[in-house]
Structure 1
Amino acid sequence: MKRSKFTEEQIIGILREQEAGAKTADVCRRHGISSATFYAWKSKYGGLEVSDARRLKALEDENAKLKRLLADAMLDQAALKDLLSKKMVTPAARKNAVAHLVEAHEMSERRACRIVGADRSTVRYRRRRPDDAEVRSRLRDLAAERRRFGYRRLHILLRQEGFALNRKKTQRLYREEGLAVRRRRGRKRALGRAAPIVTVAAANMRWSCDFVHDQFANGRRFRILNVIDDVTKECLAAIPDTSISGARVARELQAIIDRRGKPEMIISDNGTEFTSNAMLAWAAEAKVAWHFIQPGKPSQNGVCEAFNGRMRDELLNETLFFGLDHARQALRRWVADYNGRRPHSAIGYLTPTAFAAQLPATGDRLRNPDQLRRSPVAPPETERQYQPQTLVLNG
């Protein structure tokens, strides 16, 4: 509305001239207004004093202000309803919400920031972070090569290749590239008390044995005998075959002893291969202490069970075997990679071979126990009676 060049006091004065006896045409000509304007003023201000006109003007201004406030409140309410389905927890989410209000509701940036509760400097910030194309490309390649590795082990591999970045940046790039490992639900296992643990952290103090089952592409089943050093986490042997008897287990263990040395103790479950007469005879002849876990409590052989889970997750579930020779070659490559390249979380993300090189010979103490993030062995507990040899030895 165009603002009049006459104030309320002047308008009332002009009307008073006409009321005093002057002709309307003369009054309009003298003040340069039309008769229509004069009669419009008379309809609005006729019979009012100057104080009444001022009060009317104030009421009109206040009414206009209230209308503007009501319109702004209704617009803010409509904008908030539009944002109900959007989570505005992070700064990036608030920034997107402000952009939506500016575009959809034609709001100013200042008003949109006030509604959302965001700072204008945050909304206007443009990040100058590098795209890290080389690191992202190598991270994708490593994740495709080792599909069951999480960002922690991939971070170790990137650092080994010379990339200078911290763990948080690796985690961010890992998440942005959508490389999260899909978790496989495992069956519930029986909980049990741990087997006796040796107190000396040295190689060949305790071995554990167990079997893993799988099948070839043609459906024929085979099994793998795994032998693990519980302290160094090394895989001493992974022997696949369609049938492995107790005599074969004894022969393979003797071959490992000839190459590496005799352990202080071997732990296994109560499978027929480990409780056979051939195994009992070999253990007595080799003078190796053999400990059997309680039936139905595989957690007492937790180190080997964890290794079996890693083997199944990273190799068996990812590989289609076409024969026994193919399985032996794949296992040989995977075991070499497990011992020499794969970082292990239980030993400070070192490889088992690198960790074993830091340990002294059997029977000695650690030279520097502070090198480890946590001890690879648990505190000692009460020794449990070994299972008696109830079977009759051959011969």
Structure 2
Amino acid sequence: MTEHSLSILRACRAAGLLRAAYYKVPLQPMERDAEVTDALNGVVERNGRWGFWKCFDRLRLDGRPWNHKRVWRVYCELGLNIRRRMNRRIPNREPVPLAAGSYVNQGWALDFMNDVLYDGRRFRTFNVIDEADREALTIQVGQSLPASMLIRTMDRLVDWYGPPLSIRMDNRDRTVCGLRLLC
């Protein structure tokens, strides 16, 4: 205005502003967002593990009119954005060749399988195989295989063949962990 020697009224009209905007002192961002900061800190004090959207929903339920972009900006400025929990990565292991036993009853392999009948009913099988000669020692079939049935089956196999030196199974199914043979 001093450069072009215009009055404040004419300069505001040329810029398309109201005169009140010229005289108004702008607030600092921290002053402008003080209310949001206080509200967020209050929610986080009560519920420390809540993420952003739960905090935002709580603020909206309390009747706060702020939009999510403003609340997210303040949330990040306060350092409240918690890192997401991720699945643990399985460490890389060197593959070990599966060596079959050299004599019978040295090791057994246990596995579960499932399939569906033509009418849609599911069934499961529990397979025990001798690793040395690849003989199927038993195959239990049923719609459900309770642990008591598996224990009876393993006890019967130990009575017939004697206990093996090792048992190999994949760790996806945890059904067999109650066997007395493994303890």
| Larger fraction in helix | 1
State if a TM-score over 0.5 links the two structures: no
**TM-score w.r.t. length of structure 1:** 0.21
- Larger fraction in strand: 2
- Structure-2-length-normalised TM-score: 0.44
Say which one has the larger Rg.
Answer: 1
